Structure 1
């Protein structure tokens, strides 16, 4: 059910172009109305620092594989998103993950032999171009205030990604991840819907942590993130209910694994 972003370009990005004052000196930025790219996305990468806010709205799970990715679930089946509407708009007051808010921008390494990051954008997004209206990307050859703010946000996301990786190092060392499963059987359904293919943190493993590890995690703020994840799993039933109401459940006799 939960799969990590594909190798190559990051999830949702069709192409990447570095922003250049030479090539884009007179270009403008127009905010995207809705996240159309989300309409068939059932999961979005999440930063560890978002767990507490996001846990009120989404089940938070981890992808399979050696390098698990935290994901906010917006549907329980591939190609199903029960949160955004047809325009890709979130409900009012709904938490929007930073990964979505960052699009179409991204900090990327342009050369494999360098650690320098450059601000890039997805040219297929339609958000940046030689428009007559919009916010300037450059002012007198220098990044505009808007571009500077975008760069700062992308830098914050990059820094938070480093902290998220450290979060997983601790979880991996303590062997807390286990295979997850969610089961639901609507009234009249001939058999239950069973969703697997994702990982969760084992609550029993957390309870059995060594005392020194538990104290360290309470002090450094990691333990609240773990419990935010565990509490968020109650949202599984909410997402399933939305799929049922919206008629987006797979056929009763079809494959039930997410």
Structure 2
């Protein structure tokens, strides 16, 4: 559900190693109050389980490309996150996607010939290490309550990701996605600022669906998710205004955002 940087790892991850009761017996997890790795990320992968909660705070869009994924839009231009200050601290009320809350942990395959997933983490994270403070990852050689909770969270995330994959497949099969475009007119500017480079649900096709198709997406839970996505697009202007107020908005020439690719 995330674009892969040059190192082949998901977004945010600089390295990935399996958690070991031997190698990490003395390691602890400490609370951090900032996420500097997130300050320049404007679009975050989102699962369908989060649509209803997220749509109150961020526009929910779909990435461009052959395999689109849902994204929580936190800025309209690449490199801009309006919800965080320069230190990576939240400016105010916001929805933090599970993809972010999961970091630095994730479930990953250790062997190409096996589908088994192991709990891994990014060792470059400031949240994990041999600190004096924080909660232990292991107690008496066994995963601590904290580690068990992390594992459960990561398992739930993978299940939500699978449901999201099915949702996206259904959207494509129904041909409900179209190229998105948002035009924002600013007083004193002759031309509107036009944002493209993402996909969205085609409301006209949604209205024209056959009765049996509409009944299906209503019964399988897709319809409220689609509506959450469409309602959230009203936040585009608020996002634009937040960028401008933070001095990160367009100055003269309208620019288009570059959404994260799947």
Class of the TM-score when normalised by the shorter of the 2 chains: over 0.9
Residue 94 of structure 1: how far off its partner (Å) = 2.2
Query: Which residues of 2 match residues 170-189 of structure 1 at below 5 A?
Result: 170-189=170-189
Matched, 1:5 2:3: yes
Matches of 1:93 and 1:221, distance apart in 2: 28
Aligned to 1:21: 21
Deviates more, 1:5-14 or 1:126-135: 5-14
User: Across the two proteins, how many residue pairs are aligned to each other?
Assistant: 255
Give the TM-score normalised by structure 1.
0.95
Alignment check: 8 A CA contact 1:138 1:147 kept: yes
1:14-40 C-alpha deviation (Å, 9 max, x unpaired): 111110011001111112221111111
Matches of 2:192 and 2:217, distance apart in 1: 38
Matches of 1:104 and 1:120, distance apart in 2: 8
Matched, 1:84 2:84: yes
Aligned to 1:134: 134
Residue 93 of structure 1: how far off its partner (Å) = 4.0
Matches of 2:42 and 2:231, distance apart in 1: 20
Alignment check: 8 A CA contact 1:98 1:157 kept: yes
1:84-137 C-alpha deviation (Å, 9 max, x unpaired): 122322244422111111111011111111101111111111111111111000
Matches of 2:179 and 2:215, distance apart in 1: 26
After superposition, the CA RMSD in angstroms is 1.5
Aligned to 2:97: 97
Matches of 1:189 and 1:15, distance apart in 2: 45
Alignment check: 8 A CA contact 1:55 1:228 kept: yes
Matched, 1:119 2:119: yes
Matches of 1:178 and 1:206, distance apart in 2: 11
Secondary structure in structure 2 of the residue aligned to 1:237: helix
Matches of 1:31 and 1:216, distance apart in 2: 44
Matches of 2:76 and 2:69, distance apart in 1: 16
CA pair 49-141 structure 1, distance change in 2 beyond 3 A: same
